[in-house]
Every structure is written in C-alpha cells, then in structure tokens.
Chains A and B, each alone.
Chain A
Amino acid sequence: QKEVEQNSGPLSVPEGAIASLNCTYSDRGSQSFFWYRQYSGKSPELIMSIYSNGDKEDGRFTAQLNKASQYVSLLIRDSQPSDSATYLCAVKIGDDKIIFGKGTRLHILP
C-alpha cells in the first residue's frame, strides 16, 4: 500500500514567521508532488507542484523535494492569518492514481 504521511498538527506559527510543513512518501518511483490548501468546508486548491529535486519558489511559498529521502516540504514565508488552513500533500503513484496525506492543520497566530 503506497502511503503519504503528514503530521496532523495543529502547527501554530506567529504572524510574520516562516511555517514549515513536511511530507514523506513511500513510493520511490513517484515523480509528481503537489501541495494543496483547504479551508474548512471548502474543496482543496492547488498551491504548488514540484517534479525535480531542489526548491521551487512562488511568491511566499517554496516547495522542496528530496527524492533520495522521499521527502517533500512546503515553506510559507511571512505567514498571514489567511494562511490558516489545512495543507494537503499529494503524490502521483506511477502513471496511475494520486493519493493524499491526511493533511496538516496550520494556525497563524496574530
């Protein structure tokens, strides 16, 4: 059974600080990785995708991928109260399905 693991949190971060979210996955052959943000009662929305080892930056968000360690992370700089949400890590398994972790709840403290 292929798995995606995340710490459920809640992770509390002061406003303006960096929030760091982590995810590990079990399928060594995976090549596509995604971070989604989900507000309570809403559907997930894509924040970033990453396919190559290293960092990918988009505004205040940076995704980091380390395939050797089977680890992907999301950094949120200058955290804002509107960043308070659940963050879902997703991984494409082979050429087939996309599976999700259980998500990390993030609270930004004003």
Chain B
Amino acid sequence: DGGITQSPKYLFRKEGQNVTLSCEQNLNHDAMYWYRQDPGQGLRLIYYSQIVNDFQKGDIAEGYSVSREKKESFPLTVTSAQKNPTAFYLCASSINRGGLAGNTIYFGEGSWLTVV
C-alpha cells in the first residue's frame, strides 16, 4: 500500500538523550514536512524539505535536526537541546509539482514522544 509510515508510534526519552523519529513515504512525493502538535494546539512546522539533500527550518527548529539523503526518507532527531520535547510529531509529504493540486499534504499516523 502507498502511504507515509512513521515509527515508532510511541517513544519515551530520558533527559539528555537524543532520539530519532523515522518517516518513510512510497508516494514518490518530492516534499516532506515535520510538524509538532502539543495537546489542544495546532500544528507547528519544525523542518521541511522540497528536494533531496536540501531542507529548511520551520518556525520551531531549535533543538531538532533532520536529513534528506533519500527521496523516500526524512528522519527527525530530537536532541537534548530541545527542553520540552513531549508532543505528538507528525510527518507529512506532498507531490509539490503539477500545479496547485500538488501542494496538498498528506500525513502519517504520527509519533508520540514523552520525556520521562
């Protein structure tokens, strides 16, 4: 099946640890995104990438890092510098070509990160 796969679904992090959230898509989409959602809040953009080997900071990039070595993959690392990482993390992708309809983004099922 085509789609966006995020793993793990639930992750617990100890203070001072780095953790990496995986995001893989087999939709042949060019653009990929990471959003963070806190309880009762909207989505805030962390990082996004429109092509392989290139990515841009979103509105809340501090304490996070990404890579885009393959078109299908866009992992997010939550570093120890992120002081309040407990949240729901959503990966998304879009075709990003073929006109305005290519702007539509589709989401994975999300990953819940909790600091213990």
Contacts and interface: CB of A to CB of B under 8 A. Distances in A.
B45 A32 contact: no
Given A97-B56, A99-B45, A102-B41, A43 B101 contact: no
Contacts of A45: 107
A43 B106 CA distance: 10
Contact of A98 (B42, B100, B103, B110): B103
Contact of B42 (A49, A51, A97, A101): A101
Interface in A16-34: 31-32, 34
Interface string A46-63: 100101000000000000
Contacts of B104: 32, 34, 46, 49
A32 B110 contact: no
B43 interface: yes
A77 interface: no
Interface residues of B, number: 23
Contact of B43 (A32, A46, A100): A100
A32 B100 CA distance: 7
B103 A46 contact: no
Interface in B32-64: 33, 35, 41-45, 48, 56, 58-59
5 contacts: A42-B109, A43-B107, A49-B103, A98-B105, A99-B59
Given A43-B90, A44-B107, A97-B58, 17 more contacts: A32-B104, A34-B104, A34-B105, A42-B110, A43-B109, A44-B43, A49-B103, A51-B100, A92-B103, A96-B48, A97-B33, A98-B94, A98-B105, A99-B59, A100-B35, A100-B42, A102-B42
